[in-house]
Amino acid sequence: MKIVVTGANGYLGTGIVKQLCDDGNEVIAVCHHDPEEIDRRAKNITCDIFSVEDPFDEFEKPDVLLHLAWRNGFVHNDTSHVIDLPRHYAFLEKMAVSGIKKIAVLGSMHEVGFFEGSIKEDTPTHPESLYGISKDALRNMTKLICKNNNVIFQWLRGYYIVGNSEHGCSIFSKITAAEKEGKKLFPFTSGQNQWDFIDYDEFAKQVTATVEQNKINGIINICHGRPEKLAERVERFIKENHYTIKLDYGKFPDRPYDSKAVWGDDTKIQAIMENRKLG
């Protein structure tokens, strides 16, 4: 399978490209700059995807588009989310009308907004940040683009990813960076929110397993399937990595739009992973 991956040099892209290569796919890794972190087995194309006139042809007529590209994902109310939205739409439409067989886009549980409980495929969305609003809009746009062009649609709704790379802007990346800088304390919230945490490597495996199959499509939660308190998961992360840094609780307020307890329904992804094991 020939798969083009946008945002290939991002925090998530590097691990996903590696896993796709491990699985034996032909990978076209597209990034805006700095391809140094991308697996050498992938073919790299450095460009601004929004400026390419015919991306399907430029990216060597792939079977699948895995669209990870998105800037300022950790700055939830940055205006770039709204500014870039029509550009993402135009890019995806170009790919669809040119003959791509499947479009898979990385989404976010922040599309749902404030919600408590298990997020299912049909859970209503009421996003409360520009990031969530833009992702939610792109999901509906992509679904329509795929329907109108007879393209398989997969929306990979991501949850909270645990990884110990200092690259990226997650809480775990920041703690890793602070530990390497020799800091003793890390300013923290109350840590009482309960979220769905998934390890980085497992996240990459779930994403690749999803795009490598066509039987289960639509909205698919890339998740662990159960909630865990933020404080407990971060303390465990620190212990797992033998860090000496301590959490300084209560230095930051909890964000008002964050759910108190939310997790993904893992019915679809578990079926995909089981089918993968069966071959």
What is the Cα–Cα distance from 243 to 113, expressed in whole angstroms? 33
- The pLDDT tens digits of the residues spanning 85-104 come to 999 999 999 999 999 999 99
Nearest to 38 by CA among 23, 28, 48, 24: 28
Q: How far is the CA of 247 from the CAs of 185, 229, 243, 250, in angstroms?
A: 6, 14, 11, 9
CA-atom Rg of the chain in angstroms: 18
The yes-or-no verdict on residue 192 having pLDDT over 90 is yes
Q: What is the pLDDT of residue 74?
A: 86
Show the tokens assigned to 279. 């071959």
Q: How does pLDDT run across 35-73, given as a tens digit for each residue?
A: 888 999 999 999 999 999 999 999 999 999 999 999 999
Look at residue 56 in the predicted model and tell me its pLDDT: 97
pLDDT digits (tens, 9 = 90+) for 205-249: 999 999 999 999 999 999 999 999 999 999 999 999 999 999 999
- Active-site entry in 11, 89, 131, 159: 131
Distance CA 58, CA 52 (A): 8
Mean of pLDDT over the chain: 95
Whether residue 266 is predicted with pLDDT greater than 80 in this model: the reply is yes
* Residue 200 falls in the annotated catalytic set: no
Q: How confident is the model at residue 34 (pLDDT cuts 50, 70, 90)?
A: confident
CA dihedral 102, 108, 114, 115 (to 10 degrees): 60
Measured CA distances, 48 to 30, 60, 100, 254 (Å): 9, 16, 19, 36
Among 4-8, 33-37, 46-50, 130-134, whose mean pLDDT is lowest? 33-37
Q: Are 136 and 240 in contact (CB under 8 A)?
A: no
pLDDT at residue number 181: 95
pLDDT: which is higher, 34 or 123: 123
The answer to whether the beta carbons of residues 131 and 195 sit under 8 Å apart is no
Which stretches within 44-129 are classed as H helix? Answer: 55-58, 80-98
- pLDDT band, very low/low/confident/very high, at 137 (cuts 50, 70, 90): very high
- Does pLDDT of 169 surpass 80? no
